[in-house]
Chain A
């Protein structure tokens, strides 16, 4: 590919990138400030715990119901959309999806695409694919526009440019667009507005994502604050929506709680500025709106996750980003460290099905399993439980047949032997006490350096006597006292 993105080009794995990110004070501050603010906004948006929990439970059930009928609902969605005049396409891979989108653009002899925010199009690396074929594909969400202008990828699924501060954006606009530098965020936004409005007007095709696809009515629902989503789906003569197959819900009423959960969890807003519900192309007598509307349904590993009832729960995700906002790891290393489209806790559990565990072998371990993500997930995905499951798949030997794509990426005979030894020690009372005896007795021999532990800590020195010893002695005394007193 011609325009590879610098951040994903970094060699090494998660740990190498984390080290770089952790040393970047500006980045640390940008993320900490932003995540603190987002956490507070969410908390303020759910003042009533019972209301919040009831809604989360409902959200979970709605998604589970949809998944339990997913193939039927996809067919119903297709039928309804077709009746409404929308053309539906299916893609198993991102390559297929890109071909479909490019085919639609080519049929219109299009050369300019303007894109509303879409994580699925990031999965597809659509911008690069189209650029290589002479089609300009411009991001129009302010944050996405900023990262695209800087040759980067989003570092957050809701706030793509959250890793940058205003000075960095100002410098970028100055360098790339030739405008004067300014510290005024309003002015910076107006620069984006003017530049992009021209693009909305000229674009041949508008591309968007979908937040919820409603099977009952054949409707694509999109949420946004900026109006770029409405622009992309209304102004150009063709609208192509791309979405994952898990985004379908059964009924229109199902979106009422999901919408509330989404905007409150993501941004702490009761609702976004715009909720854009598209049920077809321009009708014969209408004066605007696209003449063609297409929906591309992308699998890209989702059916693999679906095949496993436990991992199927990853498909509940409504892409609110609350898990990353609350993640102490994400807050410190930022989105780019994950090196994939979806960062943070949700990224760790959805990415393996898309790219295979061998591509992201450290992701399942990059969590203290603190559980903050699972606590805030609006559709109650048990994220820690699924990370745990992936850790198991990660260390399986080939003979054990890992069940997740490219599982066994972290299989190591040596490590397995260590845990076997640990098992033997801890399931044999005699051996365990022998170990305690040795560890306490030879405590002075504790090495000064104990692997990575002593990078951050001094070496822990065992106590002089174990609790086993202290308790035995104490309880014997107690016993004597009690019996002696009788």
Chain B
């Protein structure tokens, strides 16, 4: 007998004579305490994310690349990883020569194996999109794909994320429903609620444990 059938048989014996419990999931318990007027969502998101050292800027959806250039300049960073095949990546690339920024634009355009050393140690910053955010918990939703791979939001010490103001949902449940997650998820769906941190030594908070030391969110107000 295989381990699989042994385990399943034991479990079935344990349940003999009983029937499954009903699905009495009460969605009000996870939605009602976490609802906000549309104008309050950004405030809630900001408060929560700033409390865990996230830097947030509300910018116009036309000129956000300005802000990106400024952020890099402030920190004196020498390069920025972007996703050229995405709309925001294109926009950034078009703007960049005009920005006067000395930072070099890098593209994640080959498999990780081909440039691991550089990717792990030499990329200063990255810019990714998001598919929305959750006001209740102060979380960005990242949906990595071929164009914007998983490690983009993890390896560089600075991660800049673009968020459309109109895509902030009240709570995780609402987000799941609106985007119909149960119908199909990407390889790796992520909720990101701040820069990487740890409190493993004496419960003292330290940022930049293994992932980004800094997270900057640009909230794009619709044009």
Contacts and interface: CB of A to CB of B under 8 A. Distances in A.
B27 to A, nearest CB: 7
B196 A227 contact: yes
Given A185-B201, A190-B208, A253-B25, A306 B10 contact: yes
A192 B120 contact: no
Contacts of A92: 3, 6-7
A230 B184 CA distance: 21
B11 A159 contact: no
A38 B188 CA distance: 31
A256 B187 contact: no
A328 to B, nearest CB: 19
Interface string A26-44: 0000100110011000000
Interface string B19-50: 11111111101100100000000000000100
Contacts of B188: 233-234, 276-279, 289
Interface residues of A, number: 100
Contacts, number: 261
B70 interface: no
Nearest to A202: B116
A11 interface: no
Given A61-B21, A68-B15, A306-B10, A161 B200 contact: yes
B137 A270 contact: yes
A270 B204 contact: no
Nearest to B120: A201
Contacts of A188: 201, 206
Contacts of B154: 227, 230-231, 234
Interface stretch (B72-80, B98-106, B142-150): B142-150
A272 B13 contact: no
B6 A274 contact: no
B112 to A, nearest CB: 4
Contacts of B48: 270
Contacts of A282: 187
Interface stretch (A121-129, A141-149, A342-350): A141-149
Contacts of B25: 58, 61-62, 251, 253-254
Contacts of B145: 286
Contacts of A273: 52, 192-197, 211
A289 B149 contact: yes
A456 B180 CA distance: 62
B29 A226 contact: no
Nearest to B32: A51
B182 A216 contact: yes
A91 B3 contact: yes
B176 interface: yes
Contacts of B64: none
Given A142-B201, A286-B146, A279 B8 contact: no
A276 B187 CA distance: 10
A253 B173 CA distance: 7
A74 B20 contact: no
A226 B198 contact: yes
Interface string A296-311: 0101000110111000
A379 B141 CA distance: 27
Nearest to A219: B185
A440 B201 CA distance: 56
Contacts of A185: 201-202, 204, 206
A304 B6 CA distance: 12
A69 interface: yes
B71 interface: no
Contact of A226 (B24, B184, B211): B211
Interface string A249-283: 01111101101100000010011111111111111
A216 B24 CA distance: 17
A303 B210 contact: no
B65 interface: no
Contacts of B204: 166, 185
A276 B181 CA distance: 14
Contacts of A91: 3
A161 B57 CA distance: 36
Contacts of A143: 198, 200-201
A252 B209 contact: no
A251 B190 CA distance: 18
Interface string B202-217: 1110101111100000
B110 interface: yes
A141 to B, nearest CB: 7
B14 to A, nearest CB: 4
Contact of B151 (A72, A166, A288, A306): A288
A329 interface: no
B3 to A, nearest CB: 4
Given A189-B209, A197-B120, A303-B14, A166 B202 contact: yes
Contacts of B120: 197, 200-201
A165 interface: yes
4 tightest Cβ-Cβ pairs between the two chains A and B: A227-B211, A143-B200, A226-B209, A275-B191
Given A70-B11, A287-B111, A288-B149, 11 more contacts: A68-B18, A68-B19, A74-B11, A142-B209, A185-B204, A185-B206, A186-B206, A189-B206, A226-B198, A234-B188, A273-B194
